[in-house]
Structure 1
């Protein structure tokens, strides 16, 4: 069976061994009627943000795209704590929140960092629907936050 982790490895990516836990009173991921929902994940690695601040000011767009990639990997790792990712048919929805300056509008290129992770993890599923929006701020002053919805092979 081709696991998403194997597909990611072929793309030079890997899930973090321990995804960031909730920073408040919520779950990182939950399963309901064949869909797995993740909460928003920021680009934390070993408890530290990969970058901090606004895209277009403290954070360059290319760095923000790498942050979106890391946040998407964290979201998949959170999902993997609830299910075996091999049970997932793919990602049906991807939301990317970008904390940018008022002048920054290239949310698409930042969100593509997360989309590339999903495309690598689920190469046969096609791309999900995606929302990429600019926001004033994000938790911990993160430049990017990613959440996703996976669909499973069976309707548990």
Structure 2
């Protein structure tokens, strides 16, 4: 990709990456090892505030949770951008999504599509990734979703 390609793509989509969310524990938002950047799990924070709390399939609907998963993915990209610059991304390799699920809720993949879809929107074929969508009983701060990424980067 040419220098600044992903930055221009974000601008054309009118997507602005948020500031890096402050860690809620003893960890780094992202670390690089070789050609890969691994992000810590990102919650649906915007301007330091959770977009919502509760269990998907109980307190929240699928569409609302999918929007929160989208925010999680953007927060993860912000961590990548802060560490190496968004234009260093070669491809998104893996996404792991966690969904705080009410009993009997089985649509975790639909919720995590909110994260996957924004990555495909931004990166096209380079945004198509391997993925896990996992239902859990609780997440930090009572968040409904959490997303982590592995991305391949240049040099």
Using the size of structure 1 for normalisation, the TM-score is 0.93
Q: What is the CA–CA distance in structure 2 between the aligned matches of 1:122 and 1:71, rounded to whole Å?
A: 16
In structure 2, the residue matched to 1:139 is 140
User: Structure 1 or 2: larger helix share?
Assistant: 2
Question: Number of matched residues?
Answer: 153
Structure 1 residue 8, shift from structure 2 partner: 3.1
Q: What is the CA–CA distance in structure 1 between the aligned matches of 2:137 and 2:105, rounded to whole Å?
A: 11
In structure 2, the residue matched to 1:42 is 43
In structure 2, the residue matched to 1:125 is 126
SS of corresponding position for 1:125 = helix
Structure 1 residue 117, shift from structure 2 partner: 1.5
Q: What is the CA–CA distance in structure 2 between the aligned matches of 1:92 and 1:23, rounded to whole Å?
A: 25
Structure 1 residue 4, shift from structure 2 partner: 2.6
Q: What is the CA–CA distance in structure 2 between the aligned matches of 1:105 and 1:14, rounded to whole Å?
A: 32
Structure 1 residue 126, shift from structure 2 partner: 4.6
Q: What is the CA–CA distance in structure 1 between the aligned matches of 2:91 and 2:123, rounded to whole Å?
A: 6
Instruction: Quickly say closer, same or farther: Cα 1:60–1:9, change in 2 above 3 A.
Output: farther
Structure 1 residue 48, shift from structure 2 partner: 0.9
Q: Over residues 58-102 of structure 1, what are the superposed CA-to-partner deviations in whole Å (9 max), with x where a residue is unaligned?
A: 111100000000000000001111001111111100011000112
1:109 equivalent to 2:110? Answer yes
Q: What is the CA–CA distance in structure 1 between the aligned matches of 2:25 and 2:145, rounded to whole Å?
A: 18
SS of corresponding position for 2:79 = helix
In structure 2, the residue matched to 1:8 is 10
Q: What is the CA–CA distance in structure 1 between the aligned matches of 2:140 and 2:128, rounded to whole Å?
A: 27
Q: Over residues 122-148 of structure 1, what are the superposed CA-to-partner deviations in whole Å (9 max), with x where a residue is unaligned?
A: 114151000001001100100000000
Q: What is the CA–CA distance in structure 2 between the aligned matches of 1:25 and 1:126, rounded to whole Å?
A: 29
Alignment check: 8 A CA contact 1:3 1:85 kept: no
Using the size of structure 2 for normalisation, the TM-score is 0.93
Superposition pairs of residues 54-73 of structure 1, within 5 angstroms: 54-73=55-74
In structure 2, the residue matched to 1:33 is 34
Unaligned runs of 5+ in 2: none
Unaligned runs of 5+ in 1: none
